[in-house]
Structure 1
């Protein structure tokens, strides 16, 4: 009897309405209609790109366009892989993405931990300045960043056409530092105090206590780091002028004028596969990490 008096969660449609046959039918009809509609809106561009790579050169420019290819030309994907040298471009991009991931996990975690738990002097002011930089468009700071990469202060080394030109600017991610700090803020202070009583210093506490319970947010930061480098175009276009070290976006842009349009679309479809697979594998970490630390117990 006690269970019958437990309060129910309030929703847009009450449980009484759902218990009625008409209400339940209307609810599920509207639900699945919206689900199919939104899925079509988001998935149709992917289908259009994948099917475009299967069309012939005449069909790809046909007006009105065809939704389903009249003839399937799998040779377009083979030509895209060979002519565009996608293997090298994807390998370069993977190297840039993994390097950026490693640097962000090391330096962004350290910065967020310092802001959250060590609380340095003027830490809040520095954090505010970092977050304020998110309001500045990327194109505005592209020129000074390029000049810095072309000639590092004091040492005057050029980072152009090297992985460092991609790795080092990616470390300065104010958004990832803010996400990490918010999660670290939710870690009980008593837990860190108990570690300090046992003789653990700040570095040992970070390694043995904070990082093991921060796997959800570390997964989110990893996803943002990899996808951010993979989809970036403007910065690699400026600093990677050598064709042997270009990323996949820059390389395909350079080759877009020399290959047929249907082969180019096939190359774009192949270039999207790694990020889609990466997202499908780690999609649960996105919501788990974004919601972790939002409420303090």
Structure 2
């Protein structure tokens, strides 16, 4: 007599399918899910809502107790004043120049490094990658003084990079995390495609341009977003290296002591709009790029 083995589901969940098939189980599950989503939304959206509505309030209403969730007499005067007093147009232009240049240089060098480590297989490639990843363990604050002394007198050519875009661009060129992300994605690209390109007479550079890069758009989008946001949100390094050409974060902080609270909050909200919009537009690309190449089939 043969005994049949129990059939196990391939997917493991916190709640059993039997429980979910019951009306009470479905109601409890949906209630808990709705509560969790509501709390998560409040935690993430709450500060943004407070910052956005704070600009529409007067300074007196902003600091009153208890606070008001909706402005009693909404006005856009604080936003206009913040834009004019902070010269947000110039600050935005400076930040775009710094972030755009850093992105172009970072993509160029990080893609080249990842392609070499993944497909060209240099000698001691794993050692080089390990040293690059080990550099991520060093706190960024510990590198500020060595970097500052370096840009004051660039070795070999003895050039002072202070108050130039290069002082922002050069430290961002080599990013170990982005190199690792790109290498992991390049590893998932079949070598047969590279062999076919080599048979057609394509060299390493042409293979990179014609085969690797077109297939790597998701991860390139992720790396681009990371590179832009990293420069956009940086504060300490631009504060000490480009005082004559301030970024958004530095400009808002410099004027914070001489501005009313509602005007300052309005300026902070205006400064945060570009990064929020960037995330909302490219959130699918971010998730697709992070998961692409994680599994090999």
Q: Does the TM-score normalized on the shorter chain lie above 0.5?
A: yes
Partner residue in 1 for 2:14? 12
Supply the distance in 2 between the matched residues of 1:152 and 1:59 (Cα, whole angstroms). 51
Supply the distance in 2 between the matched residues of 1:172 and 1:289 (Cα, whole angstroms). 20
Give how far 1:189 is off.
1.4
Could you list the per-position Cα deviations for residues 208-259 of structure 1 after superposition, in whole angstroms to 9, with x for gaps in the alignment? 11111111100100110111111000111111111xx210001111111121
Supply the distance in 2 between the matched residues of 1:256 and 1:157 (Cα, whole angstroms). 33
Give how far 1:95 is off.
1.3
Q: Return the match for 1:66 from 68, 73, 94.
A: 68
Give how far 1:7 is off.
5.3
Q: Call closer, same or farther: CA 1:129–1:255 in 2, change over 3 Å.
A: same
Supply the distance in 1 between the matched residues of 2:210 and 2:95 (Cα, whole angstroms). 32
Q: Return the match for 1:42 from 41, 44, 50.
A: 44
Give how far 1:70 is off.
2.3
Supply the distance in 1 between the matched residues of 2:149 and 2:91 (Cα, whole angstroms). 25
Partner residue in 2 for 1:270? 270
Supply the distance in 2 between the matched residues of 1:157 and 1:66 (Cα, whole angstroms). 54
**Root mean square deviation of aligned Cα:** 1.5
1:207-218 matches, within 5 Å, as: 207-218=209-220
**SS of residue paired to 2:294:** coil
Supply the distance in 1 between the matched residues of 2:208 and 2:71 (Cα, whole angstroms). 55
Supply the distance in 2 between the matched residues of 1:143 and 1:9 (Cα, whole angstroms). 52
Partner residue in 2 for 1:219? 221
Could you list the per-position Cα deviations for residues 124-153 of structure 1 after superposition, in whole angstroms to 9, with x for gaps in the alignment? 222111111111111111011011111110
Q: Return the match for 2:29 from 23, 27, 33.
A: 27
Supply the distance in 2 between the matched residues of 1:171 and 1:60 (Cα, whole angstroms). 42
Higher mean C-alpha displacement, 51-60 vs 197-206: 51-60
Does 2:250 match 1:250? yes
Could you list the per-position Cα deviations for residues 38-71 of structure 1 after superposition, in whole angstroms to 9, with x for gaps in the alignment? 0001110101111111111122222343333222
Partner residue in 1 for 2:4? none
Q: Any stretches of 5+ residues in structure 1 without a counterpart?
A: none
Supply the distance in 2 between the matched residues of 1:6 and 1:137 (Cα, whole angstroms). 47
Partner residue in 1 for 2:141? 139
Supply the distance in 2 between the matched residues of 1:184 and 1:8 (Cα, whole angstroms). 30
Supply the distance in 1 between the matched residues of 2:232 and 2:52 (Cα, whole angstroms). 19
**SS of residue paired to 2:70:** coil
Q: Any stretches of 5+ residues in structure 2 without a counterpart?
A: 1-6
**Number of positions where the alignment pairs a residue of Structure 1 with one of Structure 2:** 291
Partner residue in 1 for 2:293? 293
